[in-house]
């Protein structure tokens, strides 16, 4: 299961990439609005930072299929290989996905997925990934993790190669539930990367080990001080 960052702030992405095993970055228009300016300025910077092998997901914003296809070609031309074009899983989006499948090798992530049927259709239209919005589904009174698991079952039952990139998480438990069943990828807001390891019991255990070591070796001593 790949781990991606759902953010576009360069310094934040850089810090996370130093610490965590990051496979790529996802963006959406709301995330880009927080940066402003020419969206390709920041997207090119992200591409340079994460490298050409990493996954970068960028959303097309046109409403008509023909325009979505043109946008998809434009995005990939500028940002290169391993750029996934996010296309909403709506009728015009499905039409665009089918066209892209027939006319190009552009990788598509079907986005704004709230129902298993959207995911099934997008997969049949050739989407490489579908992105169920786990927390937003929870907020509608349904179970986002369960919907995501159903999508996984549907893909498996129909021998479909489409993967799931689960998005919109608000807590580590939602992520953990999907780790257990192994979806293709999850994309997380920066704070969620730290949420699962930010725990006073963990810090206290590590502090105790260091104090025990220093009790016989001396203050600030480490294994480097011994042969
Ligand atoms: O792009 C989809 C995902 O980023 C949405 O997340 O937190 O806005 O529900 P959120």
Q: In the prediction, which pLDDT does 199 show?
A: 85
User: What is the tens place of the pLDDT at every residue in 28-40?
Assistant: 999 999 999 999 9
Q: In the prediction, which pLDDT does 12 show?
A: 98
Q: In the prediction, which pLDDT does 95 show?
A: 98
Q: In the prediction, which pLDDT does 144 show?
A: 98
Query: What is d(CA 89, CA 95) in angstroms, rounded to the nearest whole number?
Result: 10
Ligand 1 pocket, residue 169 CB under 6 Å: no
Number of neighbouring beta carbons within 10 Å of residue 127: 31
Task: For the chain, give the percent of residues with pLDDT over 90.
Answer: 97
Ligand 1 pocket, residue 95 CB under 6 Å: no
Q: In the prediction, which pLDDT does 197 show?
A: 80
User: What is the tens place of the pLDDT at every residue in 125-137?
Assistant: 999 999 999 999 9
Cβ 59 vs Cβ 111: under 8 Å: yes
Q: Which residues, in sequence order, are bridge partners of residue 34?
A: none
Task: Average the pLDDT over 2-23 and give the result.
Answer: 98
- Would the CA dihedral through 101, 96, 167, 21 be positive or negative? positive
User: First CA to last CA across the chain, in angstroms?
Assistant: 40
Query: What is d(CA 200, CA 4) in angstroms, rounded to the nearest whole number?
Result: 26
Nearest to 56 by CA among 117, 4, 125, 112: 4
Ligand 1 pocket, residue 59 CB under 6 Å: no
User: What is the tens place of the pLDDT at every residue in 44-95?
Assistant: 999 999 999 999 999 999 999 999 999 999 999 999 999 999 999 999 999 9
Q: How far is the CA of 59 from the centre of ligand 1 (A)?
A: 12
Cβ 88 vs Cβ 112: under 8 Å: yes
Cβ 128 vs Cβ 108: under 8 Å: yes
Ligand 1 pocket, residue 6 CB under 6 Å: yes
Q: In the prediction, which pLDDT does 122 show?
A: 98
Q: What are the catalytic residues?
A: 86
Q: Which atom of ligand 1 is closest in space to residue 27's alpha carbon?
A: 1
Mutate to test the pocket of ligand 1, among 130, 135, 174 (most ligand atoms within 8 A of CB): 135
Please report which confidence band the pLDDT of residue 163 belongs to, taking 50, 70 and 90 as the band edges.
Answer: very high
pTM of the prediction? 0.94
Task: Average the pLDDT over 139-162 and give the result.
Answer: 98
Please report which confidence band the pLDDT of residue 106 belongs to, taking 50, 70 and 90 as the band edges.
Answer: very high
How far from 150 is each of 3, 177, 183, CA to CA, in Å? 21, 13, 11
Q: Whose CA is nearest to atom 4 of ligand 1?
A: 168
User: What is the tens place of the pLDDT at every residue in 182-199?
Assistant: 999 999 999 999 987 888
């Amino acid at each position: 299961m790949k781990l991606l960052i759902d953010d576009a702030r360069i310094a934040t992405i850089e810090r996370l990439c130093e610490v965590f095993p990051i496979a790529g970055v996802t963006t959406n228009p709301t995330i880009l609005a927080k940066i402003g300016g020419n969206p390709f300025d920041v997207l090119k910077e992200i591409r340079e930072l994460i490298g050409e092998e990493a996954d970068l997901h960028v959303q097309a914003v046109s409403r008509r299929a023909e325009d979505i296809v043109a946008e998809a070609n434009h995005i990939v031309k500028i940002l290169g290989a391993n750029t996934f074009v996010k296309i909403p899983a709506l009728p015009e989006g499905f039409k665009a996905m089918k066209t892209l499948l027939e006319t190009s090798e552009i990788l598509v992530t079907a986005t704004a997925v709230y129902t298993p049927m959207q995911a099934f259709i997008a997969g049949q239209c050739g989407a490489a990934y579908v992105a169920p919005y786990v927390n937003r589904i929870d907020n509608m009174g349904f179970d986002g993790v369960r919907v995501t698991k159903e999508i996984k079952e549907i893909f498996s039952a129909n021998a479909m190669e489409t993967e799931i990139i689960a998005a919109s998480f608000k807590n580590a438990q939602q992520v953990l539930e999907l780790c257990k069943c192994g979806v293709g990828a999850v994309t997380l807001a920066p704070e969620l990367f730290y949420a699962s390891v930010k725990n006073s019991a963990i810090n206290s255990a590590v502090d105790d080990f260091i104090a025990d070591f220093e009790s016989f070796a001396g203050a600030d001593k480490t294994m480097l001080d011994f042969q």
